[in-house]
Amino acid sequence: MSKPKVLFLCTGNSARSQMAEGILRALAGEHFDVFSAGTEPRGAILPEVQTVMREAGIDISGQWPKSVMEYMGQVNFGYVITVCADAEENCPAVFLNMGIHEHWPFEDPAKFSGDAEARLASTRRVRDQIEERLRLWLKEQDIAPREHRQM
């Protein structure tokens, strides 16, 4: 039996959707095939995102920004979750009409300002909000998440 496919979608696919992809894999990857993409993908995942994910015990170094168009006609998603307003507005309708669509808006780490520590603190906050939302979503699916954080 194949696992449901989940797509996390944002604009640049350099922060929020990448974190959601990594966190869902860590919490319940045995239950889902997890993907992320952007409506206008950027060149690389933000360094702050890589750092805060490593701090949480999640390695996303093998992930990279991808265009949602790479999946057009290739993958049928059971869940499409937009994590920013821009993706919600600009995603090709075929994806938003596929499976179950949810919108979970989070602040964009690419827009955080300040020094390196301030940007890291803000990115940690978004990472934790995404994880909290995913844990709630898994509970709604009657799936007990694995623990991934290193103490």
**Catalytic status, residue 147:** no
Q: Is 84 labeled as catalytic in the residue annotation?
A: yes
- Round to whole Å and give the CA distance between 46 and 89: 23
Q: Which of 10, 27, 87, 98 is catalytic?
A: 10
Amino acid at 115: D
Kindly name the residue from 84, 87, 126, 134 that is annotated as catalytic.
84
Q: Is 20 a catalytic residue?
A: no
Determine which one of 9, 28, 91, 120 is catalytic.
91
Q: Which residues contact 147 (CB under 8 A, 6 or more apart)?
A: none
13: alpha, beta or left? (left if phi > 0; alpha if psi -120 to 50)? left
For strands 5-10 and 79-82, give the pairing: parallel
Active site residues: 10, 84, 91
